[in-house]
Amino acid sequence: MEIAPPGLKGLAVADTTIGAVRGSEGFYHYRQYNAADLARERSVDDVLTLLIDGALPPEMPAIDLGALRELPREVEDLVDSLSPYMADALAVIRSAMLAVAELEEHQPVLDIGHVERRGNVLRLMAIVPTIVARHYRRRNGLEPIAPDPSLTHAADYLRMATGEVPAELNSRAVEKYLVATIDHGFNASTFTTRVVTSTGASAASALVAGFGALSGPLHGGAPGRALAMIEEIGGAENARAWVQAKLDAKEKIMGFGHAVYRAEDPRGIVLREAAEAIGGDLADRAIGIEAEILAMLAEWKPDQTIVTNVEYWAAVALGIAGFPPELFTPTFAVSRVIGWSAHVLEQAEDGKIIRPSARYVGPEPLS
């Protein structure tokens, strides 16, 4: 029996045409396109068309999720009933998504063809921002806002959450974040989604499993903590003393270091640009604090390359755009469900169950 490395690290377990990460180069791509460039230049709607249908508009007709974002009345009632008692938006998403699939009679991917599978994943990805926004507003004593099919996916999500039609720069910052984080290799949640799909289960079951994996603190990231760190430090002049105290206490510096990237995280570069475009006190302080932290980390471990990761500038960009910290992780879910959906379709076409073995290391069995 061949033994895989711990955590399957460095082991290729499938073929994919969706995208890949080249961490040593600070580069990742969606199909044949530089993903960071897509985040700068294209809308969520364009990029999901690329991932779901294989080409960018106008080569492929753009997918419009506008008419698919509305929740059934029964699911609105479910979200409303759960929200006062469930603070975790990801848990509410899982419940609501399964309810929609049941009400609309989504079938296992094994029993249907590509056209129906595609329709199911588009419907499910479309409702996630509606669920997140409704949950957030109900939790905060605000009336929910119905989707507006005339708006882009990013702009409508920001409007449903904040209650205001967003300024163009704010909308673009959210759009860049959503595009930049749609897919990122065979991470834990993507792999989980593909494993469940490989059993022939419904798309909803696979996506709900992805949300379960994303809820783990070792995977989904914590841009809210990065923002709290910036606020705690206050300004660049305080950064060195703050970092030294954390290093002395052997505590993690939020927003720095990455398991894959050894060059600068390209997602962070895009989001820094978005934050700088909006500007303001938070952006200015974040720039100065980042420079001081990187200098301190370089002195601390001169033989290692420690870079700013996506969490740091995601926190700043989303905060400036109008999202409170409690919406940071759910906003990541709004994005990543699109990538998972592309993987559901790809894995369903493969038709083989993912069934690795385990090495038994317990006591010898009794004869």
Identify whether residues 187 and 146 lie together within a single domain.
yes
Choosing from 184, 258, 290, 292, the catalytic residue is 258
pLDDT in tens, 62-82: 999 999 999 999 999 999 999
Q: Work out the average pLDDT over 327-352.
A: 96
Q: Which domain holds residue 65?
A: 25-219+324-350
Sheet holding 19-22, edge to edge: 19-22, 27-30, 33-34
Q: Which amino acid is at 274?
A: A
pLDDT of residue 221: 62
Choosing from 76, 175, 290, 311, the catalytic residue is 311
> How far, CA to CA in Å, does 159 sit from each of 84, 117, 147, 165?
21, 29, 9, 5
3-state secondary structure 96-144: HHHHHHHHCCCCEHHHCCHHHHHHHHHHHHHHHHHHHHHHHHHHCCCCC
**Number of other residues whose CB lies within 10 A of the CB of residue 293:** 26
pLDDT in tens, 220-238: 666 788 899 999 999 999 9
pLDDT of residue 85: 95
| Contact in structure between 106 and 207 (CB atoms under 8 Å) | no
pLDDT in tens, 8-19: 888 888 999 999
Backbone φ and ψ for 12, nearest 5 degrees, come out as -80, 125
| Contact in structure between 137 and 92 (CB atoms under 8 Å) | no
The answer to whether residue 260 scores a pLDDT higher than 80 is no
Q: Tokens standing for 169?
A: 């720069």
pLDDT of residue 311: 87
The answer to whether residue 175 scores a pLDDT higher than 80 is yes
Identify whether residues 208 and 304 lie together within a single domain.
no
Question: In whole numbers, what is the pLDDT of the chain averaged over residues?
Answer: 93
Q: CA-to-CA distance for 129 and 153, rounded, in angstroms?
A: 8
Binning pLDDT at 50, 70 and 90, where does residue 271 land?
Answer: very high
Q: CA-to-CA distance for 71 and 154, rounded, in angstroms?
A: 17
pLDDT of residue 205: 98
Q: Is 135 a catalytic residue?
A: no
pLDDT of residue 230: 94
Range with the lowest mean pLDDT among 190-199, 202-211, 218-227?
Answer: 218-227
Q: CA-to-CA distance for 339 and 18, rounded, in angstroms?
A: 8
> How far, CA to CA in Å, does 356 sit from each of 102, 137, 195, 343, 359?
30, 43, 10, 19, 10
Identify whether residues 29 and 177 lie together within a single domain.
yes
pLDDT in tens, 290-327: 999 999 999 988 888 888 888 899 999 999 999 999 99
Q: Is 273 a catalytic residue?
A: no
Identify whether residues 286 and 141 lie together within a single domain.
no
- Full-model pTM: 0.93
Identify whether residues 121 and 266 lie together within a single domain.
no
> What CATH number corresponds to the domain at position 328?
1.10.580.10
Binning pLDDT at 50, 70 and 90, where does residue 263 land?
Answer: confident
- Would 364 be classed as within a structural domain? no
- The DSSP string of 8-62 is GTT------SSEEEEGGGTEEEETTEEHHHHHHH--HHHHHHHHHHSS-TTTSPP
141: CB partners within 8 A, 6+ apart: none
Identify whether residues 209 and 237 lie together within a single domain.
no
Identify whether residues 62 and 82 lie together within a single domain.
yes
pLDDT of residue 119: 98
Identify whether residues 57 and 161 lie together within a single domain.
yes
Q: Tokens standing for 104?
A: 């609309």
% of the chain exceeding 70 in pLDDT? 98
Identify whether residues 183 and 250 lie together within a single domain.
no
Identify whether residues 277 and 328 lie together within a single domain.
no
Q: Work out the average pLDDT over 200-219.
A: 93
pLDDT in tens, 145-159: 999 999 999 999 999
pLDDT in tens, 246-255: 999 988 888 8
| Contact in structure between 327 and 132 (CB atoms under 8 Å) | yes
* Letter string b/e over residues 93-108, b meaning 16 or more CB atoms within 10 A of that residue's CB: bbbbbbbbbeeeebeb
The answer to whether residue 120 scores a pLDDT higher than 90 is yes
Identify whether residues 44 and 177 lie together within a single domain.
yes
Q: CA-to-CA distance for 49 and 145, rounded, in angstroms?
A: 26
